[in-house]
Amino acid sequence: MKLNKFTVILAILLVSILAIGAVSAESVDDAGIVAVADGDIQESVEVTDTADDLSTADTADETVGDDSSGPDDTAEYDLDDDTYSTYFNEDGSATDALSADGNYYLNVGTLTNKDIKIVSGQNVYIQGKEGAGIINNGTITIGGGAIGQINTVQISGITFVNTNKNAIVVNQHAKNVAIARNNFDLTYDDTYTDNAIAIMTKGLVEDVTIVGNEIKMTSAASYTYGLDLTYYLDWYTFGDGNAKNFYIAENTFDIESTAQSGMAEAMYLDSIIDSVIEGNNINVKTTNPGVSNYAMQVADSWGFFNDPWASSPYNVAIKDNTIVLDSADLAYGISVISLWSYTEDYDEIIKDMVISGNDVTITTQTEGVGISASSSDVSITDNKVTLNAAHDPVQAYTDGYIGNIS
């Protein structure tokens, strides 16, 4: 996975070097990519019904029920440091006190240095008790079993206070998972050698809703991500297909990287399809040169080369997000990156992207790209981009394969 991300970084750097034209320290209002003969950048592309259906609620809260939204026949268990050993083993796996079929609430008080792993079941609700719901140095992991083994899980009202430890992992084949109204206060020092991640999904997951969370990260780790939605299960193992049907809305990201090298990113969206990302507030700050700064990146892991077959990302809407980046090095607001040859001869290339109504502000000591798209059938309209650079060119909208800037 890291290798893929590093490749993506190099691709973006190449885009910024080769792109034609520049603007410096100026604001770009209501700009859109204009259709050109050599490519297929269009003024309007409709996202299909699958993605549109994900954003029909007036607010993100309407998408996820309240903390008592489970079936009436679900059992309830109070979970804290004193009762933990009744329901979980030392490694975080569930004991026989929790039904493998699910249908229960876990009402979390305070847990310290304890993990929660739910491999199977339906209608599992992990929720913070009123005035509590604090997990100190713990991780909640969902799924990891066979297809259909985990379905309908909600994590809500939890405050994670972790040092050198990630908070939530959703494993392959999990379906219908909601992560809503949680607080993350995560700190990583320079001894942490893995990726620092608040919320991670792995491989083929479906119908994941991430809404109303507040994510604060202070990290000296080389690679820091608020959300890491990855096609890979580990460095060498790809997923069984594209992750799909994400609804990511009304989350707040406050990320500061003090690393000496690497990257900090609010959202890494790897080969996702049929998804909506809207109404999020993103602030990312990097303090040292050598650390790239990203708000969000839709990336292509070439899943079509793998067996079982997957595809490049498609049918993704990125709308009405507010982004502020303060960077000591390169900074990128919204990036859609295809590593495949830019040609309509290949059905697998990134396509059907809508980037609309976003407000991007970048301050960088080197150069920045407000919104960039290397894809087919992309609509970039009604966005506002404000770019401030100490030196070097600043590009507003680029398409590296066509060389078009508008």
Q: What is the pTM of this model?
A: 0.84
State residue 337's pLDDT score: 78
State residue 310's pLDDT score: 72
What total of structural domains would you count in the chain? 1
Q: Is the residue at 140 inside a domain?
A: no
Rounded CA gap, 405 and 298, in Å? 19
Q: Is the residue at 392 inside a domain?
A: yes
Q: Is the residue at 169 inside a domain?
A: no
Q: Is the residue at 125 inside a domain?
A: no
Range of the domain at 323: 2-64+181-398
Q: Is the residue at 339 inside a domain?
A: yes
Q: Is the residue at 32 inside a domain?
A: yes
3 state SS for the chain: CHHHHHHHHHHHHHHHHHCCCCECCEEEEEECCCCCCCCCCCCCCCCCHHHHHCCCCCCHHHCCCCCCCCCCCCEEEEECCCCHHHHECCCCEECCCCCCCEEEEEEECEEECCCEEECCEEEEEEEECCCCCEEECCCEEECCCCCCCEEEEEEECCEEEEECCCCEEECCCCEEEEEECCEEEEEECCCCCCCEEEEEEECCCEEEEEECCEEEEEECCCEEEEEEEECECCCCCECCCCCEEEEEECCEEEEEECCCCEEEEEEEEECCEEEEEECCEEEEEECCCCEEEEEEEEECCCHHHCCCCCCCCEEEEEECCEEEEEECCCEEEEEEECCCCCCCCCCCCCEEEEEECCEEEEEECCCEEEEEECCEEEEEECEEEEEEECCCCEEEEEECCCCECC
Q: What is the mean pLDDT of each run of 10 residues along the chain (406 residues)?
A: 42 35 33 30 43 47 57 88 98 98 98 98 97 97 92 98 99 98 98 98 97 99 98 87 96 98 97 96 97 93 65 91 96 82 56 92 91 79 88 58 33
Q: Is the residue at 78 inside a domain?
A: no
Q: Is the residue at 83 inside a domain?
A: no
State residue 323's pLDDT score: 98
State residue 9's pLDDT score: 39
State residue 165's pLDDT score: 99
State residue 377's pLDDT score: 75
